[in-house]
């Protein structure tokens, strides 16, 4: 039986989503441990987005198979009873047999938060990048326009050994500054994202906002297909996977 679940988590103390041989402290690892205990057999969980260490999720989607059918509510309650307090399953439902959380996804939304004032943001420090300084938002918006659409985003990928296509479609990049809190949100909506892609684009846009790059340079960065051409990789704590959409 195939199941789909939606979950949220605070990624601050985890080594990312993906299970790794050198650590059991991953979101995938925690989910598989609880589900395997529930089912009495090894269960593999596939996530829609392989979030990095320190990255959060409001609406991650994951899928898994069980040999024996289980009630959705029973699964949901069991998972939340035994998962750590910083991981919550919002819902579990039966899914078509061919459904796969990552391969079936058609659109993902990420949000990156930046604090622009001199405050420490004590209670939000794990969920935004404290970037003190003035930014030219209009220049950043102009730069973002070059990134919208379908492009080869190889320059915005940290994995130099990535063998598959680096062509992705960015449907939207929206920059929103709350002047009351001096917190800027950058919303990214696309059909898929490469390793560190959102964080590298964010770092590049911040450099444009600082005047270190001109908006028109973005076109050349895309054409270069070289990670060295783009800006710095923004820290993980400002990034959150907001939602995943399916047909």
pLDDT in tens, 182-205: 899 999 999 999 999 999 999 999
CB under 8 Å to 169, separation ≥6 — which residues?
A: 149, 150, 190, 191
Q: What's the full length of the chain, in residues?
A: 247
Q: Read off the pLDDT band of 221 (50, 70, 90).
A: very high
What does CATH list as the number for 106-246?
3.30.70.660
Instruction: Give just the sign of the alpha carbon dihedral 81, 87, 93, 97.
Output: negative
Q: Does domain 2-94 have CATH number 3.30.9.30?
A: no
- Please measure the distance between the N-terminal and C-terminal CA atoms of the chain and give it in whole angstroms: 20
Q: Do domains 2-94 and 106-246 have the same CATH topology?
A: yes
Give which of 208, 128, 110, 216 is closest to 168, Cα–Cα: 110
Residue 21 has pLDDT above 80, yes or no: no
pLDDT at 133: 78
Burial of 128 (0-12, 13-18, 19+ CB in 10 A): buried
Q: Which residues, in sequence order, are bridge partners of residue 184?
A: 114, 177
% of the chain with per-residue pLDDT over 70: 100
- What rounded mean pLDDT belongs to the chain? 95
From the list 52, 124, 136, 152, the catalytic residue is 52
3-state secondary structure of 28: helix
Is residue 129 within 8 A of residue 215, CB to CB? The reply is no
Residue 23 has pLDDT above 80, yes or no: no
pLDDT at 22: 78
List phi, psi (to 5°) of 212: -75, -20
Is residue 92 within 8 A of residue 79, CB to CB? The reply is yes
pLDDT at 118: 78
CA distances 113 to 53, 172, 234, 237, Å, are 16, 16, 10, 9
Q: Read off the pLDDT band of 181 (50, 70, 90).
A: confident
List phi, psi (to 5°) of 148: -70, 150
52 labelled catalytic: yes
pLDDT at 103: 96
C-alpha–C-alpha distance, residues 122 and 243, integer Å: 26
Q: Please give the model's pTM, rounded to 2 decimal places.
A: 0.95
% of the chain with per-residue pLDDT over 90: 87
pLDDT at 125: 85
C-alpha–C-alpha distance, residues 231 and 247, integer Å: 34
- Break the chain into its structural domains and give their ranges: 2-94, 106-246
pLDDT at 210: 96
Residue 160 has pLDDT above 90, yes or no: no
Q: Which region among 1-10, 33-42, 55-64, 124-133 has the lowest average model confidence (pLDDT)? A: 124-133
pLDDT at 100: 98
Residue 164 has pLDDT above 80, yes or no: yes
């Amino acid at each position: 039986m195939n199941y789909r679940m939606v979950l949220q988590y605070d990624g601050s103390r985890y080594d990312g989503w993906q299970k790794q041989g050198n650590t059991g402290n991953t979101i995938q690892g925690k989910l598989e441990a609880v589900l395997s205990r529930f089912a009495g057999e090894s269960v593999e969980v596939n996530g829609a987005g392989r979030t990095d260490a320190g990255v959060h999720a409001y609406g991650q989607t994951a899928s898994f198979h069980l040999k024996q059918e289980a009630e959705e509510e029973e699964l949901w309650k069991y998972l939340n009873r035994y998962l750590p307090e910083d991981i919550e399953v919002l819902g579990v439902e039966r899914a078509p047999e061919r459904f796969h959380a990552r391969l079936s996804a058609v659109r993902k939304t990420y949000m990156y938060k930046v604090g622009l004032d001199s405050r420490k943001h004590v209670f939000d420090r794990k969920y935004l990048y404290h970037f003190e300084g003035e930014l030219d938002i209009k220049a950043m918006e102009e730069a973002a326009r070059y990134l919208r659409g379908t492009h080869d985003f190889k320059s915005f990928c940290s994995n130099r050994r990535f063998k598959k296509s680096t062509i992705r479609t960015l449907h939207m990049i929206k920059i929103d500054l709350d002047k009351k809190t001096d917190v800027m949100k950058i919303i990214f909506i696309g059909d898929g994202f490469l390793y560190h892609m959102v964080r590298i684009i964010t770092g590049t846009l911040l450099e444009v906002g600082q005047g270190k790059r001109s908006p028109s340079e973005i076109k050349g960065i895309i054409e270069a297909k070289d990670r060295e051409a783009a800006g710095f990789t923004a820290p993980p704590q400002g990034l959150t996977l907001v939602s995943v959409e399916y047909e």
